[in-house]
Amino acid sequence: MPKTITARPMPALMSIAILAFIGTLIESSMNVTFPTLMRTFSVSLATVQWLTSGYLIVMALTMMCSAFLQRRLSLLALFDLAALLFILGAGLALAAARHWFSLLIIGRLIQAGCAGLTIPLMINFINAVMPVNRLGYYMSTAGMIVNLAPALGPSFGGLMLTLDHWQLIFLTTLPIVMLTWLSGRRTLKPFSQTGKPLKFPVRQFSLLALAFLLVNLAVSLVIPNLVRSSCHCF
């Protein structure tokens, strides 16, 4: 994305920023729904917490692939992929209704790819396109978006739960993402360039994903059991 492009970058940046904001907003908005989900799906807290833990793991792994993806795919293709992941994940979460908790988990894991793609994409777009003398302003704005959305997430989730149902979290954000996707495709096209054929490091990524999963399992399952066992001894 060269800086000599004459198209206005702000509408394109806003499209990416909205997806990044909603992707991180959704991350923490489900936390306040855990008691409701435990009753609805008859699952334990150790199970329902994977809605957030799994989301964060997939989000982190996607971010680690962002350097490869931004060289392999065009800007427009990455934007399309992020929007489609959110839409598909929201659709599965809504289809879960009251019966299929596993479908809700799968939907959340797919949705996490949206935030994992758009946050690095937003920062890379700022570095590549925005004027050098304004980089500090735009980078601080991007940081505010990334940090403000998770802080607002529990309040947003609680409001949706109070108004109607936990599925309202997805019903309210889905139209915004779809409209942003349609408008963003037009504004991002002048900045999009063809990607380069690269080989994905499958083995390294698989080992990293396994390490993330094992650490999370140790923290959520093994360590609490050890603590309870030691307490019984005393």
- pLDDT tens per residue, range 63-118: 888 888 888 888 889 999 999 999 999 999 988 877 789 999 999 999 999 999 99
Cβ-contact 95, 134 below 8 angstroms = no
pLDDT range class, residue 2, cuts 50, 70, 90: very low
- Per-residue pLDDT, 225: 58
* Predicted structure pTM score: 0.83
Q: Is 199 a residue whose pLDDT tops 80?
A: no
Percent over 70 (pLDDT), the chain: 88
Q: Which of 94, 95, 108, 86 is nearest to 167 (CA)?
A: 94
pLDDT in tens, 32-44: 999 999 988 888 8
How far, in Å, are 12, 61, 78, 122, 133 from residue 114 at the CA level? 16, 12, 10, 12, 29
Q: Is 230 a residue whose pLDDT tops 60?
A: no
- Burial (CB < 10 A; 0-12, 13-18, 19+), residue 192, is middle
Q: Which residues, 6+ apart, have CB-to-CB distance to 134 below 8 Å?
A: none
